Chains A and B, each alone.
Chain A
């Protein structure tokens, strides 16, 4: 099975990349037992094209990523962390599940490297002692107050400018088109874009490179990867937080 990795996979559901059913046997035993047929070698030539990469074998062409600080999560993400120059969507059922704390190690790393972190229209006031205790350099933190109509514009400006390390957005209502703009802006600026959205948005299509779902579990919140660009074939992953 192969696909081109040139752009966002077009998906009807948006959550899983849509692919053709398996056509190339991946098992080497089968290839060893029978001599290679003519059409298979022809296919191998096609597969050598640089614009084509094979599922399962090729690493995602991600240049760099920022470790999340959670070893289990890093192991599941293709670059070993939050993707740079892309949106990472975090879908939360309700406040207080540790959704922001998920980002704190990454924010601490960024701010200590003197990169700005911008919070666009957060729902509550961020609490300085908590951030400082997590190692976030408050001098690099910028809080932007924007009305609901200006939120998308502000987020896009910050993502596109390229002078912010990370931009955190809270977007209770946004459609695919608006998110696509933000994703493109993040690509242009090479910025880490984080979007917090309600869980109800999980079934909608999204252009974000990474989508995480955070839900309350029996003992601890459950984190589930529902989409991850550059990683295919495996079922959604769930891991517990706050062990």
Chain B
């Protein structure tokens, strides 16, 4: 086991996204109304002498310009969960230790990321990009890694045998004991963990209790640790707010790109795909435009997701300036990638077709692609109909006679007179039961331009030159 401990010492401040300028003294306070104390102070307040655990009254005395914000534990929990989300891409074994610490088992990921130095660089770059301060240390046990971060040490110690030696110099307060235990140990004259390691076990157990002793054993790897494993949530939602209204599609592409890329990373991290997600354009006064993006099969490739989302977005008319863009996905099915043939025999037909359909549907609309099916009806305009793509049409029945390639959905009066009647009549008389009664004599005719047409006249009329011919289709 090789545990990385990510300790966020300034999480209470950084989770808030407050609008207090950085150079103004700022403190987070907690505690009952009458006895507030400082939890965390920023650098400017620290310079003025404001410290954690200080009563608020003294802090305000030291620094009259101090901006005070009450602690928001739910914001911290959210921030920590989102950080765990990011950490999940580096390890499947992530554990949250509230209020401000994450543990990652990275021993299994080292090879993938090219060793600890490379992995550490990536994690640090990731956290910097998110705008958090982090102390990062790694050790064979999570408890020991936490001790190192409490000492503000960024050590990475892979060997369990060297652990007691490395821990010896750490002060008791960094050991992660309860306050009462620390007070007892201080009373006994203990200052470092090394002092504790040297004491006989039985004596120590009598003074600090079995729990603290177990903690010490876990720290040195003598007893196995059990950490709660964090599970990523089964849904995804991100929102980008703009400080101004955007009223062109082009300007929305950049934030969309960011949203989709983050989303794809999230999907890759949890080895899932997405089949349906929603883009929400937020306008003023909480008005929303929702754009649904549906896919034929779960996917997670950033480029193709972006292409589809963008095509859908560009089809939507922006009714008002957009102030926020959000991406939501409530259902994240597992991804089962199609296997490609090693010897590329069939041009990946089964693989490319869904992608092509999605691309076309995104630009042309969902209803643009249709299949064609025969219907068992004698009336020509009902014998053929469009069906949704992929629907299995019933087996066609044999047509009784020649039928044209093109059918006019609405029959037109024939312009001019037919030059020749080639075949007919074929009487079609049907539909008396559903109010669309048809009684027609169909002929195949040739026009003066040499076109072959399928035309009809009402039953009872002779197919002569003066009959009221109506054009039904072309033998194209």
Interface set of A (CB-CB < 8 Å, partner B): 93-101, 104, 116, 122-133, 138-139, 141-147, 150, 153-154, 157-158, 161-164, 189-190, 216-217, 221
Q: Is the contact region of chain A dominated by helix, strand, or loop, or is it mixed?
A: loop
Interface pair B389/A142, CB less than 8 Å apart: yes
Q: Which residues of B contact A139 (CB under 8 A)?
A: 371, 392-393
Chain A residues in 8 Å Cβ range of B396: 128-129, 132, 138
Residue count of chain B within 8 Å CB distance of chain A: 51
6 more CB-based (< 8 A) A-B contacts, given A96-B453, A128-B383 = A98-B475, A101-B476, A127-B403, A127-B407, A141-B372, A158-B356
- Nearest A residue to B359 via CB reads A157
The residue among A101, A122, A132, A162 with the most chain B CB atoms within 10 A of its own CB is: A132
* B349 close to A162 (CB less than 8 A): yes
The CA of A92 and the CA of B404, in the complex, are separated in Å by 17
Residues of A within 8 A of B474 (CB): 95-96, 124
Between A and B, how many residue pairs show CB distances below 8 Å? 156
Q: Is B352 an interface residue (CB 8 A)?
A: yes
Cβ contact within 8 Å between A163 and B359: no
Q: Are B451 and A94 interface neighbours, CB within 8 A?
A: yes
Question: Can you name 17 A-B residue pairings with CB atoms under 8 Å?
Answer: A94-B451, A95-B451, A99-B476, A124-B407, A124-B409, A125-B386, A126-B372, A126-B407, A127-B380, A127-B384, A128-B374, A130-B399, A138-B371, A157-B356, A158-B356, A162-B347, A163-B349
Residues on A with beta carbons closer than 8 Å to the beta carbon of B347: 162-163, 189-190
Task: Name the distance in Å between A85's Cβ and chain B's nearest Cβ.
Answer: 11
CB distance A216 to B449 under 8 Å?
A: yes
Q: A residues within 8 A CB of B364?
A: 144-147, 150, 154
User: Which of A124, A131, A143 sits near B369, CB closer than 8 Å?
Assistant: A143
How many Å lie between the Cα of A126 and that of B386 in the bound state?
10
Q: Are B399 and A133 in contact (CB under 8 A)?
A: yes
Known: A96-B451, A101-B405, A125-B409. A163 touches B370 (CB 8 A): no
With a cutoff of 8 Å between Cβ atoms, the chain B residues found around residue A127 in the complex are: 380, 383-384, 403-407, 473
Q: Which residues of B contact A125 (CB under 8 A)?
A: 384, 386, 406-409
**A97 near B450: Cβ-Cβ < 8 Å:** yes
Q: How far is the CA of A162 from the CA of B396 in the complex (A)?
A: 28
- Verify B371–A141 contact, CB threshold 8 A: yes
The residues of B that contact A100 with a CB separation of less than 8 Å are 405-406, 476
Residue B452 CB within 8 A of the other chain: yes
Complex CA–CA separation, A145 to B347 (angstroms): 26
Q: How far is the CA of A132 from the CA of B396 in the complex (A)?
A: 7
Measured CB to CB, the nearest residue on chain A to B386 is A143
Is the beta-carbon distance between B374 and A132 smaller than 8 angstroms?
A: yes
B203 to chain A, nearest CB (A): 77
Interfacial residues of chain B within 357-408, with CB under 8 A of chain A in the complex: 359-360, 363-364, 367-375, 380, 383-386, 389, 392-393, 396, 398-399, 402-408
Quick check: A161 and B371 within 8 Å, CB to CB?
no
B353 on interface, CB distance cutoff 8 Å: yes
CA distance A147 to B452 in the complex (A): 28
Which A residues are in CB contact (< 8 Å) with B453? 96
- Considering the chains assembled together, what is the distance between the CA atoms of A162 and B349 in angstroms? 7
Judge whether B399 and A145 touch: CB under 8 Å.
Answer: no
